[in-house]
Amino acid sequence: MWTTLSSSDNMISEMFKVALQLEEPWKLTHVEFDDMDQAWHLFIDFARGATFACPLCGIACKAYDSEKKTWRHLDFWNWKTYMHARMPRVKCKACNKITQVSVKWARPLSHFTLLFEAWAMRLMAEMPVNAAARELREHDTRMWRIFH
């Protein structure tokens, strides 16, 4: 069962906002907790008409379209945490190309946040990959992808 936090749970939402260190135009829109999976789901979005820097030339461009992506983040209170966001693409007039915007919390094409990957690499430096995977509650093949 998924529980969406209400405005009375504002303190938890504020804690996640501080922990994620999101910058404009990104905003934490809501937080849900999945009782079955014992996992937090953090939903991040941007306002309509928001501008993003073109990844190729740096010029500010409006979002052209977007697709939803999910990343595994570091655990909060021993519960898995997932970040969900609409990832915008921009149509740059200077470059005349449509390009996927990058985010500061993850590498392109990764399914993990940078903080999760850093912690996974730290664990894999100290223990076998299978042991690190058990500790992180992830499949070892996913840990090998981070490693490589």
Q: Report the length, in residues, of the chain.
A: 148
Where does the chain show beta strands of DSSP type E?
2-4, 26-34, 39-46, 51-53, 60-76, 79-92, 97-100
Mean of pLDDT over the chain:
90
Q: What is the pLDDT of residues 91-109, one digit of tens each?
A: 998 988 899 999 999 998 9
Q: What is the pLDDT of residues 29-68, one digit of tens each?
A: 989 999 898 999 999 999 988 999 998 898 999 988 999 9
Given a contact cutoff of 8 angstroms between Cβ atoms, the answer to whether 52 and 32 are in contact is no
Torsion of CA 30, 31, 37, 39, to 10 degrees: 130
pTM value?
Answer: 0.87
Residues 6+ apart with CB under 8 A from 82: 39, 40, 41, 42, 70, 71, 72, 73
Distance CA 54, CA 60 (A): 6
Residue with tokens 């519960």: 79
Q: What is the pLDDT of residues 117-128, one digit of tens each?
A: 999 999 999 999
Q: Return the pLDDT at 1.
A: 61
